[in-house]
Amino acid sequence: MPNSSTIPALDLKASLKKPLQWALAAGLATAVITLFLPNYYRSEARLLPVESKGLGGSLGGLATAAAAFGVSVPGGEGNDANFVDILNSRWLKEQLLQTEFQYHARSWRFGAERLEKGTLYAYVDEKNMDRAVKELGKVLSATRDLKSKVITLSAETKSPELSQQVVQRAGKLLEAFLQEKGHTRGGAKALFAEARLADARTEMDQAEEAFRRFLEGNRNYQSSGDPAVRLKGTRLENELRLRQQLVTTLAMNREQALLEEKNDIPILNLLDPGNLPIDKSKPARSVIVILAALLVGAGGWTWLNREWVRTRLLADEDESATPIQE
C-alpha cells in the first residue's frame, strides 16, 4: 500500500506547462466561437395591480375573468397572482404568437441590420402551435414580488425592438382581456337590469295604451255616475303609475350596476412601459471563455498527472482507514 513516504515528488512548474498551454488554446478557440453567437436583448415592464373599490376584499372580477379560460384562482391568493396566471396563460401566448411585429435584426453576428416583418410564430420557428407556445415560455416571462406586489414582465429576443414590442403587446393584451372578458358581478347586474328594463317599458307602453283607449270614451270618468267606470279608470291610472315607477327604479338600478361594473375592473398601474434595451443580456462571452479555459486546464493537468493523483488518493484513504494507536 502506498503511503506518504512512497508518493513521488511532483514538479509543479513542469506539470503546469502543458495544461496552461491547453487552457490558453481552449480560451482562444472559445473566444472565437463565442464571437459568432447572436446577442440577446431583454426588455422589462413593471406593473402594479391595484384592487378596485368594487371588489370588496374578495377576488372579484379578476378571479371571474381568470376563470373564463380555465385559470384556477385559489381563494387565499392576491389579485397580483391572478395577473401572472393570465400573463402566463396559453390564451395570451397564442395571441402574441399570431401578432405581427416589425423590427430591425441581424441575420448573423456581424451582419448588417435589416428590417424584419412577421409574426412571433415565425420568429420562434416551430412546427406547430403547441411547440411554439412552449418555446415562447423561453422568450416571455412574468414574475411577481411577494412584498411589493410588483409584477415584472420581461421578453428576451435577438432584436431590442422586438423585445420591447413583445412586452408592450403582452401588457395591452392583459388590459384588453380585463376590459372585454372580465364578466364581473356588476356587469351581470347591469345585463339583468337592462333586460328587465326593456320588459318594464313594454309593460308600461301597454298600460298607457289601455288607459288611453279608456279615456277616449270616458274623459271625465272621475265625475261619472257609474261606479264601475270610476273604478276601472282608477285601476288603469294606478297601473300606469306603477309601471312608470318601476321603469324609473330599474333605470336607476341599471346605472348603479354599470358603475359597479367599472369599479369591479382591476386597475393596472404601469410603472415601466418596457424599455428599448441597448446592452445585450446574453451571452456572457467572458464567463464562457474563462470557464472553458479552467475546465480544459484542470482536466489536462489531472490527465497528465493521473498516476500521481491516483497514488495520492490511495494514500489519503489508507491514512484515514488506519486506526489511531494510543
Is 46 part of a structural domain of the chain? Answer: yes
Is 283 part of a structural domain of the chain? Answer: no
User: What pTM does this model have?
Assistant: 0.60
Q: What is the pLDDT of residues 46-63, one digit of tens each?
A: 888 765 554 444 444 444
Q: What is the pLDDT of residues 215-262, one digit of tens each?
A: 888 878 777 778 888 888 888 888 888 988 988 888 888 887 777 666
Distance in angstroms (rounded) separating the CA atoms of residues 258 and 276? 39
Last residue of some domain: 158, 182, 206?
182
Q: Are residues 143 and 234 in the same domain?
A: no
Q: Give per-10-residue mean pLDDT for the chain (326 aa).
A: 56 74 87 84 85 46 47 45 82 90 80 84 88 90 84 89 91 81 64 84 89 83 80 87 89 79 64 81 85 88 80 69 53
Q: Are residues 250 and 152 in the same domain?
A: no
DSSP 175-212: HHHHHHS---HHHHHHHHHHHHHHHHHHHHHHHHHHHH
Last residue of some domain: 209, 239, 263?
263
Q: Which domain holds residue 136?
A: 41-182
Check: CB of residue 173 under 8 Å from CB of residue 94. no
CATH classification of the domain holding 107:
3.30.1890
Check: CB of residue 177 under 8 Å from CB of residue 86. yes
pLDDT at 306: 79
Is 161 part of a structural domain of the chain? Answer: yes
Q: Are residues 147 and 206 in the same domain?
A: no
